[in-house]
Structure 1
Amino acid sequence: CCRFVYNRALDVKKSAYAKTGKTVSWAELSRMLPAWKRNPETSWLAQVDSMALQQSIRDLDRAYKNFFRRVREG
């Protein structure tokens, strides 16, 4: 479930950047979780601890920051 949320959040970030040139924050992604849980196709996410799902979004955010920090540093 955490990997699914991580990958879905990654897709949202990539799509938003492609459309607007701006990224989506972890807080915005975290606010999307309840809608993902209510969606009939992904309602199984409601059975998982919400803190674990939120942590996967934080992990994605940290990975993004680390990647771009390393790119800036060369």
Structure 2
Amino acid sequence: MTTPPKGPASYFPSIEKKHGQPISHWKALIRAAPPTRHMELVTWLKEEHGLGHGHADALVADTLREDRA
């Protein structure tokens, strides 16, 4: 039995289903964006790519967490 993902990763299946792109696509976009702050990246994903706030926030949070590690 597998444990369901927690935190930002819990949004990933619905992001892929709704927007038709793998998570790696979104993370690559975030990493290619000029260095900005968390909420600026969230706003950019919402305005330029049509993501909802929760999905954009989850992607940015997880990507920045990975990059800090």
Shorter-chain TM band:
0.3 to 0.5
TM-score when normalising by structure 1: 0.42
Structure that is richer in helix per residue: 1
TM-score when normalising by structure 2: 0.44
